[in-house]
Amino acid sequence: MRTHWREVALLATLAGVLGCAPTTDPPSLADHRLDDPPPALSHRPGAAGIGDPDFPTDGNGGYDVSHYGLVVDYVPATKQLKGVTTIKAAATQGLSRFNLDLAGLKVSGVRVDGAAAEFSRNGDELTVTPAEPIDVRSRFTVKVTYAGVPQAEKDSANLGTYGFVPTPDGAFVASEPDGSKTWFPNNDHPADKATYDFKITVPAGVTALANGELVGKPTTAGGKTTYHWRERHPMASYLATATMGKFDLREGRTPGGIPETAAVDPRFKSALDKLYTVSGEVTDYWSKVFGPYPFSSTGGIVDDFAAGYALENQTKPLYGGFAPDASIIAHELAHQWFGDSLTIRRWKDLWLNEGFATYAEWLWSEHKGKRTAKAIFDELHAQPATSPIWAYPPGRALPHDLFNMSVYTRGAMTLQALRDAIGDTTFFKLLQDWTAAHRYGHVTTDEFIALAERLSGKDLSKLFDAWLFQPTRPA
């Protein structure tokens, strides 16, 4: 699902035809160009990347996924995963073949619309050649059967360990930025969102937790239990989880009435009630500040893998080996709006996720009568001009240093500088209008700046340039 995708391409093309500068970035991520040859003549291979210049092989070109049906059987004792992934997609160009992203694991068969297809592997690319080429704009179904021992992504510069990470009793699954390919074949880039069904089979006694809500009760037969979870709102692949293990659960509704599931590894038993209570309170509070909660349930998971980070997995943020405090719960749940409902098209815009979620931590502090966002901003702004935060402009996150502190902290400072410039009333209306205008869709930095300027009636180009794009401390 790529919201507004073709609209953007059309506008940019029109702007080009009319000789005016496009107001959006050129549509380099668009799959089908208006000057493509007519469909009948134009079956050609889909690109091996979706078009994000910073992550050239992430995602793929030529199609748009609407739904993933994942069937996963996992045995913690042997770390063996068996999977069948059914992908519903629409072709955005005529396709002679196309790629999926998949790292490791052995593929035993691929079918396209029920017919056996040829496939080959090259690095993390799975190339599928259907028996019949696929016409532009037609819908098709791909079924991939695979198995093996998933290998998490590890030690890459500053990302730590991510993807499908085995734990003694199950698995910790946190995939930002591109670790979903370690456990199922997919279009592994946030520019293509889709809905998901997860059917996860584990040994009886093990709990499997995925995004969204349970469909029916888990069923047990032959010593195995199958959980069916459904995420019915569009989701980026990096937010998909199938976290498994022994868990203590608390389920119910937030005071505001949103269904909630909190789960903790038994080692964090004493953290369960706080996780449940604070997550409920935060979800309800952000629903007032940022606009209606975008999804059908909320909650959180604490697992016993010491990832050194948390991840805002849609509807169920995952905390890696620590009992979260209210501040980080406020951060991960703010991401449900900023990152999950409103999703970046390119990783360089990551401050739209991390700057907003960090600013939410400051808003939570302010809400609780502790330090105001302004006081936190002032203290950070007083850092010496030599602080590395000023050398790294957060408006363009670097692929080799994606989660740099500047993207978080200076990103959040950008929002405080904006709030100072346009006033509280306009600032908080902007946050609500922003989440409403792009709910379940995609966003860019330019779109945020344009909305801020429209609502405030001010030229904010100098402010955003200084805060987001200059390698120096803004005045």
Q: Which residues bind ligand ARG (CB under 6 A)?
A: 159-160, 162, 176, 309-312, 331-332, 335, 354, 357, 403
Residue 228 CB, shortest distance to Zn ion, in Å, is: 29
Closer CB to ligand ARG, residue 31 or residue 361? 361
Report the partner that residue 311 touches, choosing among ligand ARG, Zn ion, none (CB closer than 5 to 8 A by kind).
Answer: ligand ARG
Closer CB to ligand ARG, residue 198 or residue 338? 338
Please identify, among the stretches 32-40, 53-61, 173-181, 354-362, the one whose residues bind Zn ion according to the rule CB under 5 A: 354-362
Q: How far is CA 241 from CA 78, 229, 259, 318, in A?
A: 20, 10, 18, 9
Number of residues in contact with Zn ion under rule CB under 5 A: 2
DSSP 8-state class, residue 247:
-
Residue 350 CB, shortest distance to Zn ion, in Å, is: 9
Residue 347 CB, shortest distance to ligand ARG, in Å, is: 12
Report the partner that residue 184 touches, choosing among ligand ARG, Zn ion, none (CB closer than 5 to 8 A by kind).
Answer: none
Residue 181 CB, shortest distance to ligand ARG, in Å, is: 14
Q: What share of the chain is helix, strand, coil (3-state, %, to 5)?
A: 30, 30, 40
Report the partner that residue 350 touches, choosing among Zn ion, ligand ARG, none (CB closer than 5 to 8 A by kind).
Answer: none
Burial class of residue 155, CB neighbours in 10 A (0-12, 13-18, 19+): exposed
Residue 357 CB, shortest distance to Zn ion, in Å, is: 4
Of 406, 456, 404, 397, nearest to 431 by C-alpha is 456
Place of tokens 């069904």: 197
CB 414 within 8 A of CB 474: no
Report the partner that residue 310 touches, choosing among Zn ion, ligand ARG, none (CB closer than 5 to 8 A by kind).
Answer: ligand ARG
Closer CB to Zn ion, residue 333 or residue 357? 357
Query: For residue 309, what are the contacts with CB-CB under 8 A and spacing of at least 6?
Result: 160, 174, 320, 403
Closer CB to ligand ARG, residue 309 or residue 351? 309
Closer CB to ligand ARG, residue 162 or residue 359? 162
Should residue 357 be labelled a site residue for Zn ion when binding is judged by CB under 5 A? yes
Query: For residue 13, what are the contacts with CB-CB under 8 A and spacing of at least 6?
Result: 27, 33, 34
Closer CB to ligand ARG, residue 9 or residue 357? 357
Cβ atoms within 10 Å, residue 170: 26
- Is the omega angle on the peptide bond into residue 39 within 30 degrees of 0, that is, cis? no
Amino acid at 150: P
**Sheet strands (E) in 271-390:** 298-303, 310-311, 318-320, 343-344
Q: Which parts of 188-207 interact with Zn ion (CB under 5 A)?
A: none
Report the partner that residue 403 touches, choosing among ligand ARG, Zn ion, none (CB closer than 5 to 8 A by kind).
Answer: ligand ARG
CA distance 45 to 62: 8
Closer CB to ligand ARG, residue 80 or residue 156? 156
Residue 117 CB, shortest distance to ligand ARG, in Å, is: 32
Name the pairing type of β-strands 242-245 and 248-253: unpaired
Residue 311 CB, shortest distance to ligand ARG, in Å, is: 5
Residue 335 CB, shortest distance to Zn ion, in Å, is: 6
Residue nearest to Zn ion (CB): 357
DSSP-derived secondary structure for 213-237: EESS--EEETTEEEEEEEEEEEE-G
- To the nearest 10°, report the CA torsion of 202, 204, 205, 208: 30
Phi, psi angles (nearest 5°) of residue 449: -60, -45
Residue 308 CB, shortest distance to ligand ARG, in Å, is: 7
Please identify, among the stretches 36-44, 349-357, 419-427, 451-459, the one whose residues bind Zn ion according to the rule CB under 5 A: 349-357
Please identify, among the stretches 74-82, 191-199, 346-354, 449-457, the one whose residues bind Zn ion according to the rule CB under 5 A: 346-354
Contact positions vs Zn ion (CB under 5 A) = 354, 357
